[in-house]
Structure 1
Amino acid sequence: MQLSREEMRWLFDTLRKIEYFSLCTVGQIEDFVSIAVKENFEKGKIIVKQGERGGFFFIINKGEVSIWSEKSGLEKQKIANLGPGEFFGETALIEGKPRNATVIAETHCELIIFDGNSFINLLDKNPSLKEHFHKVAIKRDTERRLILSKTKKGLFQKLFGTK
């Protein structure tokens, strides 16, 4: 579905607050807003699945999602809950790697979605912006891995009583 004028304003303001878009001009942010659509997901729906190709970038407009990750065949671990204004899916899209987590709708959700091809085409028009997005993606992936390693360590300590 297309965005309403009010949703486009909200998205513009939201993108200006996201680190990825910190180097964007007003015109560049408007270009990103112009390629966005919205989609609804019912509670319990898997939005993206770990290991799949990342073809979309998502921003939560309404509702809440949970982020789950599985490493080396271990049990899935919830690593975060995200709500309005927060986002996911950018690392797989920007880096061209498989999704590093599964995302599930915890409530009815309305998500703003950027198609990967259109998104990458906009980045390709500005190499310095593309490089900035790449650096932020690496930083966020490193932060996610740190959270996962701490979660695993805590789980190991709970199971085996070690410190």
Structure 2
Amino acid sequence: MWAMPRFGVNLTSIVATSAVVTAVIGLSLQSTLGNVIGGIALQVDDSIREGDWIELLDTRTQGQVKKVRWRHTVIETRDWDTLIVPNSQLLGQTIKVLGKREGQPTQHRTWVHFNVDHRYPPGDVIRIVSEALRSSSIPGVAAHPPPDVVCLDLARDGKDSFGLYAVRYFLTDLERDDPTSSAVRERIHAALRRAQIPLALPAQTLFVNHEDQKAERKREKRNARIRAALRGVPLFSQLSDEEIEILADSAKLAPFVAGEVVTRQGAQANWLYVLIHGEVEVRVATDHGDDRKVAVVKAPGFFGEMALLTGAPREATVVALEDIECLRVDKDDFREVLSRRPELAQELSMLLAQRRVELESARDNLDAVSRSRRVQTERKRILEAIREFFAMND
């Protein structure tokens, strides 16, 4: 090296150039080393595993971890996108691991908001929606803890005339967040329609419809449909047009969504359903504790006649096979018809007895004489039950 200056070589520039090169190499390796060290850390402490659903709080991005590599982590989003995140960046921010608790099943609490007219008591709204959500399972919604309903606000500023509510449920399939919330909204909407509680609009929103004649025609068409549905029930074949009109005025539309339990075996529910659209499956509990399918009822059809007229517990569980629409005829609605014509109880008891014995005769292989005797026995029993249920003996 002592000879280099004699040949015109500047040692100072060589040393300076070497330092610069070393610095450049160091800086270029800094990011790579950070990513590699981050990858090692992720794999060693196992804080984020392949299959976990995470949220990057800096960007509010959610996705499922597919691969944890030495330099980067691969995340797939619900929008069918793939994110390649350098490990140094991943560890440089706060990460939320969704639905993960040590020793607990994967489930993430999700909120679904809805508005209801403030004139309806919050207790009633909470009870009606809670019962609808818990009556039968919804795919993707955890059974434990069960969904719950809370009232968040009652329009304190007076600008809006609705109460703000939310359903809180635990999502078990984190990839299907929106479809599951949609199914929950369907349950909410159907339950509120059955209870004749409308979803609310802000007070400033106003719809003006000057087509009164068109609206009247629409109402008449709906009422004609209800009367036709009631007239199609064999149980009501003995009713006059006036009596059908009484039931039509008081009958309630009762929609249910696919998979929802319409009525459950053993329940005390004193009303009859007239199925005007869709199909339902009838199930009975076996001695082994499971349910056995016994029939499918298609529109037009009906079920629950013994509960309506005698107060008997439900003999089967009925589940909607698709989105259905029913008419619900309550005991109090039918009381007015019976009070006007008490002798109708005789005719109804005979119809119920015949219908019941028809179902039993195939099972018990009854001959004509045995069927006739059983019909008379059933008629007397049912007639007495009707009179007692509607207090007609007083």
Residue 127, structure 1, aligned to residue 342, structure 2: yes
Aligned partner of 1:42 in structure 2 is 257
**Measured at CA, do residues 70 and 89 of structure 1 come closer, stay the same or move farther in structure 2, by a change above 3 Å?**
same
Give the unaligned 5+ runs of structure 2: 1-192, 197-217, 365-394
Residue 82, structure 1, aligned to residue 297, structure 2: yes
Is the 2:266–2:314 contact (alpha carbons within 8 Å) kept by the matching residues of 1? yes
TM-score relative to the length of structure 1: 0.78
Aligned partner of 2:280 in structure 1 is 65
- 1:101 CA displacement: 0.9
Instruction: Please give the per-residue CA displacement for 1:11-45, whole angstroms capped at 9, x wherever unaligned.
Output: 22233232212221111111111111112111111
- 1:75 CA displacement: 4.5
Runs of 4+ in 1 over 6 A off after TM superposition: none
**Measured at CA, do residues 124 and 135 of structure 1 come closer, stay the same or move farther in structure 2, by a change above 3 Å?**
farther
What amino acid does structure 2 have at the position aligned with 1:66? E
**Measured at CA, do residues 85 and 46 of structure 1 come closer, stay the same or move farther in structure 2, by a change above 3 Å?**
same
Among 5, 16, 27, which residue is 2:231 paired with?
A: 16
Instruction: Please give the per-residue CA displacement for 1:71-113, whole angstroms capped at 9, x wherever unaligned.
Output: 5566532221112221111112212211111100000111111
Q: How many residues align?
A: 149
- 1:48 CA displacement: 0.5
Among 309, 315, 322, which residue is 1:100 paired with?
A: 315
What amino acid does structure 1 have at the position aligned with 2:326? L
- Say which is worse superposed, 116-125 or 24-33, in terms of deviation: 116-125
- Say which is worse superposed, 38-47 or 68-77, in terms of deviation: 68-77
Larger gyration radius, structure 1 or structure 2: 2
- Say which is worse superposed, 119-128 or 93-102, in terms of deviation: 119-128
Return the alpha-carbon distance in structure 1 between the equivalents of residues 268 and 235 of structure 2: 21
Percent identity reads 26
Greater relative contact order, per chain length (Cα 8 Å cut-off, separation 6+):
1
- 1:69 CA displacement: 1.9
Give the unaligned 5+ runs of structure 1: 151-163
**Measured at CA, do residues 71 and 139 of structure 1 come closer, stay the same or move farther in structure 2, by a change above 3 Å?**
farther
- Say which is worse superposed, 138-147 or 78-87, in terms of deviation: 138-147
- 1:61 CA displacement: 1.6
Return the alpha-carbon distance in structure 2 between the equivalents of residues 145 and 53 of structure 1: 23
- 1:146 CA displacement: 4.7
What amino acid does structure 2 have at the position aligned with 1:119? F
- Say which is worse superposed, 41-50 or 10-19, in terms of deviation: 10-19
Aligned partner of 2:203 in structure 1 is none
Aligned partner of 1:140 in structure 2 is 355
TM-score relative to the length of structure 2: 0.35
- 1:47 CA displacement: 0.7
Is the 2:263–2:318 contact (alpha carbons within 8 Å) kept by the matching residues of 1? yes
Among 211, 232, 240, which residue is 1:25 paired with?
A: 240
What amino acid does structure 2 have at the position aligned with 1:106? L
Aligned partner of 1:115 in structure 2 is 330
Aligned partner of 2:106 in structure 1 is none
- 1:4 CA displacement: 4.0
What amino acid does structure 2 have at the position aligned with 1:42? V
SS of structure 2 residue aligned to 1:52? coil
